[in-house]
Chains A and B, each alone.
Chain A
């Protein structure tokens, strides 16, 4: 597989520890432009660890392996650099930042990304109309823009806010870490629509979820099961349905092949 063929992310033999404890043993995964990969797996299996490592969280220690993103060594880049090159993580637990308004947070992020892309910063008018358009798509209340980032937001508002950021920043690779958890049925639909509106041959997604339900709205190309520190099984959308019926018990850690 080479970059010309649309390879976006190539992870080989990734081993990760936190506080001396190995969480991920050996992860191999390839993601091509246009694809959507779902990652499922039991609580504590390391899905968020995986997502955070890709985003550059320094509390996780990479012991071995490599990750290439758009042909570049990803693991050597600071988090902000990864984001500027088009990687976006929607957090499982979005962070509250008292004293920083949501709109300013968005603006600082968008300006940083645009500067990197060599395009001018948006002027105030264009910025606000862009944000309002996305806000409407996410069916979010406008006052959330002027409140401190995520502070006092409901669980569902926090998740919508993550997707709002994604829509404003237009990343090439989006990792959603349980964005569907804690959403009511309508909100799930709104979030799924938001993701679908971004799907394109140039973009790719890694969607961490516990529920097949989300995958009814966002159809995956591949489904992987993370268990025992590795990808224990990979398959198509039917794997998610099977997991929904059978749970994880039947999967031996290490079983199954990586596409």
Chain B
């Protein structure tokens, strides 16, 4: 129970009627129940096992008020937030509000819906009635309940059976708000049988926008569907970002996740994947880069609920200054999940003596015919490698930067979407090295 969280009851009263789908009884019930649950539990405290390493005081001692819709003409989207021109499918949200004025939707294939969640809640709420909230983790009601109570908008993507999107769908979330602004985001992706799409959620800030982003994304993959999901988090160094991605997978489906956290003061990502059908496969790729006093907490959980499913997890952290990262990777192999193949790797690089990592792999294996491995390391830059570079004439700073870059390389190499990979390389380069070096690094491939 957190003192002060009850004040959100008033905000809820105030905005309830203005939220999309306010007149829809089941939705109203869902929100009210969520609010009650939240008022009951409050935000997690250090006594909550899953939040032990993440101090929420900076968040709980503030009060956040749902941000109002900005005027579109008051916004200039930073050029590099687009990361690729001429995309057919892009949804832009400012402070949690859908802004079609900034980027109209392109024409769609038949069998494909890409729109704002609010529109669906207003116009076809029945599409969401038995879906909304079904993937979220009910053991962790605090933030999810908070999000469900206040959710306003986000993306709704529905791929009919066999639909294949050639181009990625970009969901761009821009924060402009003040210290006190709350930006709820709620996304829903439903991938019909054998459909395929790539979805990018990117979070950026204008003018060091602070405040709180509360984001929940629910993704359902039906038989044989394939979703490649990118989460690129680059909020300002004073923002809080609490997000959950909840995935369910049917038989032979494939979910690839790339979770890149670079911004934010206080960041939490819950990524949960339930492998419910035989032959389902997931690859979870993660890169966390922190400095200053940033705190980034990644909690991943994979449930092997069916036989012959695979999970492959690669998370890396690069921490500088006094920053802190948490990695908690839980893999649960349930009793019937024979012939599970599961690998987890978590490696962390501390660039400063004051940086800290809490890394905890958690494997619970209840089946006997399984192949599971995990490895976890926390280390510093390899002094021998540094000296090797220097002994060949490369100066210490550049050597250091190259080694940092190399540490991230295997995560970057797994990113198939070239523009995203290039953008990330550029950002990393900006952080750790000159672009000139980056260009020649890239030569190694064409070399």
Within 8 A of A (CB), among B395-447: 395-396, 398-399, 402-403, 405-410, 437, 440-441, 443-444, 447
Q: How many angstroms between the C-alpha atoms of A9 and B385 in the bound complex? A: 26
Q: How many angstroms between the C-alpha atoms of A111 and B439 in the bound complex? A: 14
Number of residue pairs across A and B with beta carbons under 8 Å?
Answer: 102
B406 interface neighbour in A82, A91, A99, A124, Cβ under 8 Å: A99
In the complex, the chain B residue whose C-beta lies closest to that of A106 is: B392
Q: How many angstroms between the C-alpha atoms of A94 and B391 in the bound complex? A: 11
The smallest C-beta distance from B431 to any residue of chain A, in angstroms, reads: 16
Q: How does the 8 Å CB contact mask read for B349-385 relative to A, with 1 for contact and 0 for none?
A: 0000000000000000000000000000000001111
Q: How many angstroms between the C-alpha atoms of A145 and B437 in the bound complex? A: 18
The smallest C-beta distance from A169 to any residue of chain B, in angstroms, reads: 7
A80 interface neighbour in B393, B409, B441, Cβ under 8 Å: B393
Q: How does the 8 Å CB contact mask read for A128-145 relative to B, with 1 for contact and 0 for none?
A: 100000000000000001
Which residues from chain A contact B385 at a C-beta distance below 8 Å? 95-97
Q: How many angstroms between the C-alpha atoms of A40 and B230 in the bound complex? A: 58
Q: How many angstroms between the C-alpha atoms of A107 and B388 in the bound complex? A: 14
Which residues from chain A contact B440 at a C-beta distance below 8 Å? 104, 107-108, 111
A215 at the interface (CB under 8 A from B): no
Which residues from chain B contact A113 at a C-beta distance below 8 Å? 392-393
Q: In the complex the two chains form, is A98's CB within 8 Å of B406's CB? A: yes
Interface size on A, residues (CB 8 A): 40
Q: In the complex the two chains form, is A55's CB within 8 Å of B406's CB? A: no
B87 at the interface (CB under 8 A from A): no
Q: In the complex the two chains form, is B395's CB within 8 Å of A100's CB? A: no
Which residues from chain B contact A94 at a C-beta distance below 8 Å? 388
Q: In the complex the two chains form, is A99's CB within 8 Å of B395's CB? A: no
B387 at the interface (CB under 8 A from A): yes
| Contact residues on B (Cβ < 8 Å of other chain), bracket | 20 to 34
Q: In the complex the two chains form, is A97's CB within 8 Å of B388's CB? A: yes
A105 at the interface (CB under 8 A from B): yes
A75 at the interface (CB under 8 A from B): no
The smallest C-beta distance from B313 to any residue of chain A, in angstroms, reads: 19
Q: How many angstroms between the C-alpha atoms of A59 and B402 in the bound complex? A: 22
Q: In the complex the two chains form, is A55's CB within 8 Å of B398's CB? A: no
Which residues from chain B contact A99 at a C-beta distance below 8 Å? 403, 405-410
B389 at the interface (CB under 8 A from A): yes
Which residues from chain B contact A169 at a C-beta distance below 8 Å? 392-393
Q: How many angstroms between the C-alpha atoms of A78 and B387 in the bound complex? A: 10
Q: In the complex the two chains form, is B407's CB within 8 Å of A83's CB? A: no
In the complex, the chain B residue whose C-beta lies closest to that of A96 is: B385
Q: In the complex the two chains form, is B392's CB within 8 Å of A105's CB? A: yes
Q: How does the 8 Å CB contact mask read for A141-185 relative to B, with 1 for contact and 0 for none?
A: 000011011000000000000000100010000000000000000
Which residues from chain B contact A124 at a C-beta distance below 8 Å? 443, 447
Q: In the complex the two chains form, is B447's CB within 8 Å of A100's CB? A: no
A37 at the interface (CB under 8 A from B): no
Which residues from chain B contact A89 at a C-beta distance below 8 Å? 391
B444 interface neighbour in A58, A91, A95, A146, Cβ under 8 Å: A146
B390 at the interface (CB under 8 A from A): yes
Q: With A80-B394, A83-B393 in contact, is A104–B443 under 8 Å at CB?
A: yes
Q: In the complex the two chains form, is A78's CB within 8 Å of B444's CB? A: no
Q: With A100-B402, A104-B441 in contact, is A112–B394 under 8 Å at CB?
A: yes
B388, B402, B409: residue with the most chain A Cβ atoms closer than 10 Å: B388
A97 interface neighbour in B390, B396, B403, B447, Cβ under 8 Å: B403
Which residues from chain A contact B390 at a C-beta distance below 8 Å? 56, 78-80, 83
Q: How does the 8 Å CB contact mask read for A224-238 relative to B, with 1 for contact and 0 for none?
A: 000000000000000
Q: In the complex the two chains form, is A101's CB within 8 Å of B444's CB? A: yes
In the complex, the chain B residue whose C-beta lies closest to that of A150 is: B388
Q: How many angstroms between the C-alpha atoms of A100 and B387 in the bound complex? A: 14
Q: How many angstroms between the C-alpha atoms of A70 and B161 in the bound complex? A: 75
Q: How many angstroms between the C-alpha atoms of A76 and B389 in the bound complex? A: 18
Q: With A95-B385, A146-B444 in contact, is A83–B392 under 8 Å at CB?
A: yes
Which residues from chain A contact B407 at a C-beta distance below 8 Å? 99
A56 interface neighbour in B391, B402, B409, B410, Cβ under 8 Å: B391
A32 at the interface (CB under 8 A from B): no
Which residues from chain A contact B406 at a C-beta distance below 8 Å? 97-100, 148
Q: With A112-B392, A112-B393 in contact, is A128–B405 under 8 Å at CB?
A: no
In the complex, the chain A residue whose C-beta lies closest to that of B402 is: A100
Q: In the complex the two chains form, is A100's CB within 8 Å of B403's CB? A: yes
A116 at the interface (CB under 8 A from B): yes
In the complex, the chain B residue whose C-beta lies closest to that of A149 is: B388
Which residues from chain B contact A145 at a C-beta distance below 8 Å? 447
A243 at the interface (CB under 8 A from B): no
A57 at the interface (CB under 8 A from B): yes
A47 at the interface (CB under 8 A from B): no
Q: How does the 8 Å CB contact mask read for A58-85 relative to B, with 1 for contact and 0 for none?
A: 1100000000000000000011101110
A251 at the interface (CB under 8 A from B): no
Which residues from chain B contact A97 at a C-beta distance below 8 Å? 382, 385, 388-389, 403, 406
The smallest C-beta distance from B317 to any residue of chain A, in angstroms, reads: 15
The smallest C-beta distance from B394 to any residue of chain A, in angstroms, reads: 5
Given contacts A55-B391, A97-B382, A109-B394, could you give 19 more A-B pairs where the C-beta distance is less than 8 Å? A78-B390, A79-B391, A80-B391, A80-B393, A83-B391, A94-B388, A95-B385, A97-B389, A98-B410, A101-B447, A103-B444, A103-B447, A108-B437, A112-B393, A112-B394, A112-B395, A124-B443, A165-B392, A169-B393
CB-defined A-B contacts under 8 Å, sample of 24: A59-B383, A78-B395, A80-B389, A80-B395, A83-B391, A91-B391, A95-B387, A96-B385, A97-B388, A98-B410, A99-B406, A99-B407, A100-B402, A101-B444, A104-B441, A104-B444, A105-B389, A105-B392, A108-B437, A109-B389, A109-B393, A112-B392, A124-B447, A148-B406
The 10 closest A-B pairs by CB, nearest first: A99-B406, A109-B392, A112-B393, A83-B393, A99-B409, A79-B390, A95-B388, A101-B444, A80-B390, A104-B444
B interface, CB within 8 angstroms of A: 382-385, 387-396, 398-399, 402-403, 405-410, 437, 440-441, 443-444, 447
